[in-house]
Amino acid sequence: MKQVTLTSPSKINLFLEVLGRRDDGYHEICSIVVLTELCDTIILERRTSGITIWARDPKVPSGPDNLCHRAADLLLRYSGAHGGVNIRIEKHIPIAGGMGGGSSNAAATLWGLNLLYDLGWPREELTCLGSELGSDVPLFFCREAAFVRGRGERVDELAALAPRWLVIANPGMEISTASVYRRLRLPLTSEKAGFTMRNLVESGQEEAALSYCFNRLEDVVLEAYPSVANLKQRLLLLGASPVLVSGSGPTVFGIMREAEMAKRVASSLVESGIAAVACRTLEKNPLFATGE
């Protein structure tokens, strides 16, 4: 195999509680994550040596700072594979938008190189390797949805909800995840609500589960960035429910009752100059459509 093309999905956090700061400097979290149809495309091509990155979007780093570059370097070194890779990234997921685009791209790079060099590494081993790259990378090896704990490295498979229509909107800014965590003032928190939501999902009580949607990081994001708060309020007024910031933001998503409503709301946001799309949540991780 000389080339492989992969679909790299985005994620939204239906639930995200921050339990406290760990001794290693990371934060302990409890989160429920689902994947969405808003995806990037990653194209990997074998070369004799070296790693190159190409992306049309000038905001995408082209050197070692790119998480795909780091993922490729890590896997090639660990595996002892002789050769390199050209990596083409076609971006649609907002950059630094709280939807895990960079982490998803890194997971896709690991999976794709595993196929490209016929390494035969199991998904579990690639998940462990991904945890060395970033806290969100392991969750993108889930087959459906994920229940995430620790700093993000403890990922339990969770049956996905039935596909739901979303409006995903971005106010046109980037927010550093680290800066959000630095500003976070933590009250006494518990992962109990996360376990309750997980149990409701697993028992098929989806509407009840959605009543537990929550994101602790909103405390910081909505206060510090009025445009994000305004966007959330606008989606609520347009009929979305629930509406949450995804991850550390600034992307906001709202669950809609039906396709036409989602498309109409997304169009109205685009007409007012806000980047927005209507799409669905995914039942299956499209990454594994290649190679399994």
**Of residues 24, 40, 65, 136, which has the active-site annotation?**
136
Q: Which of 17, 76, 60, 26 is nearest to 198 (CA)?
A: 17
The arithmetic mean of pLDDT across residues 253-278, rounded, is: 96
Which of these ranges, 14-18, 86-90, 148-152, 248-252, has the smallest mean pLDDT? 148-152
CB 241 within 8 A of CB 235: no
Q: Which CATH class is domain 3-159?
A: alpha beta
Q: Give the span between the Cα atoms of 235 and 243, in whole angstroms.
A: 7
Q: Which residue has the higher pLDDT, 153 or 75?
A: 75
Count CB-CB contacts under 10 A for residue 287.
26
- Tell me if 3-159 shares its fold with 165-280: no
Give residue-wise pLDDT tens across range 55-79: 999 999 999 999 999 999 999 999 9
Residue 242 contacts residue 221 (beta carbons within 8 Å)? no
Using CA of residue 180, residue 15, residue 99, residue 78, what is the dihedral sign? positive
- Domain range summary for the chain, segments of one domain joined by +: 3-159, 165-280
Our answer to whether residue 11 is catalytic in this structure is: yes
Query: Which of the four pLDDT bands, split at 50, 70 and 90, describes residue 268?
Result: very high
Ranges of beta strands (E only) in 120-202 are 145-150, 154-158, 165-170
Q: Which of 8, 5, 4 is nearest to 285 (CA)?
A: 8
Secondary structure class of 276 (helix, strand, coil): strand
Indicate if 73 belongs to the active site.
no
The single residue of 11, 65, 73, 118 carrying the catalytic annotation is 11
User: Exposed, middle or buried, 129 (CB in 10 Å: 0-12/13-18/19+)?
Assistant: buried
Residue 49, pLDDT score: 94
pLDDT at 132: 93
Query: pLDDT by residue (tens digit) across 184-218?
Result: 888 767 889 999 999 999 999 999 999 999 999 99
Greatest alpha-carbon span in the chain: 56
CATH class of 165-280: alpha beta
Residue at 207: amino acid letter = E
Paired strand residues for 261: none
pTM comes to 0.94
